[in-house]
Structures are given as C-alpha cells and as structure tokens.
Amino acid sequence: MKKIISLLLLFTFGLSSCEKDDICDANTPTTPRLVITFYDNAAPTSLKTVTNLKVVGEGKEDTDAIIFNETGTSVTKYLTNANTISIPLKTDAKTTTYKFIYNATSATPNIDVLTFNYETQSVYVSRACGFKTTFTLNPRDNTANSGLIRTDPAGDGLWMLNINVVNSNIELENETHVKVYF
C-alpha cells in the first residue's frame, strides 16, 4: 500500500511540474503598424483609392519598397490600389521616413515624403510573445499634423493635399491613425 501511495505522490508531483507550451498565439496583438486611410479631398467623408501607390523607406531602393502583394510580380508586389494601407515604424528610432509614390508606374509619378516623429514604449505581452512596441506620434506644434513632416523633394507638387493625425497613440492596427486627403 505504501508503494502505491508513493507512486501516486511521485506521479502527482511529476505532473505539477509540467508547464504549458510557450507558443505565441497568432491572434495575439504584436507591434502595430501605422494605418493610413485615404479620402477624396473634394468629398472629405468619401474614401478614395490611391492608384499604383508605392511606399519606399528612407535610404532604400525602389526594389526594397513595402510589399503589398505577396503573389505579385517583381513590379506589382510593391504596388497597391487601396484606400487603406498599413506601414511599419522603426522600433529602434524616434523617426521613420517614407516616400509615397503616387502613380508609380506612370512616366510622371508624384512623390511626397512623410517623416513620422514618435516616442516608443515597450509593453509586455506574455512570456511566450515577449514584448511589443507601441508608438505615440510627437506633437511638434499645435496643428492637426502633429507628429509628422511632409516634403516635396521632387518639386512635382504635393499630391497629399491635407493630412490629419486622428489617433496619435499607435497601439492597434484596427483603427485609422492618419487620414490623407488627395
């Protein structure tokens, strides 16, 4: 009888030392991307699709642009025709700069450059997932464009006519952070 009780106790202690697997669930929110939604400048409540938009990070070649279509060709995988895009921000810096190339496949594309200024914060998710980084766009002044700088390096005129930061706290990807009117 003592042997049976000893075996049961040993078995019980053995099970109690087991831990669940450390696998991060794919549905767990991780470091969010910045969500930009495009609107018609003439009808500000109407979504508008951007034609052949290519987004390229500062210091990157056009062939290192953000991939929007995994199954696209060597040219089309970098293009999108959408009214909403999501782009990553650098987790190890305080700014991220992108070239937004409108009508990228035409003979006369239009390029606007946006620089996003922000603070980062590491947030613990779980033992399996580790940490994620959240962002807060920095208010540079008291305007609606706080947290970003827009330039026209090619001198071809700004295609982004108006930009509004609607949510400066970038914690989730299911909400718009920046509205662009063109």
Mean of the per-residue pLDDT values of the chain? 87
* Structural domain range at position 137: 31-181
Residue 36 placed within a domain: yes
Q: What is the value of pTM for the model shown?
A: 0.82
Do the domain assignments include residue 22?
no
Q: How far apart are CA 23 and CA 111, in angstroms?
A: 42
25-46: average pLDDT: 93
Percent pLDDT > 90 in the chain is 65
**174 domain-assigned:** yes
Average pLDDT of the segment spanning 60-77: 90
- CA–CA distances in Å: residue 157 to residues 62, 110, 113, 153, 163: 20, 7, 11, 9, 15
Name the token pair of 129.
Answer: 């997932």
2-6, 7-11, 50-54, 78-82 — which is least confidently predicted?
A: 7-11
Q: Count the residues in the chain.
A: 182
Indicate whether 23 belongs to any domain: no
Percentage of the chain exceeding pLDDT 70? 84
Taking only the tens place, the pLDDT of each residue in 125-145 is: 998 889 999 999 986 554 555
Q: Within a domain: residue 10?
A: no
Q: How many domains does the chain have?
A: 1
User: Quick check: is 85 in a domain?
Assistant: yes
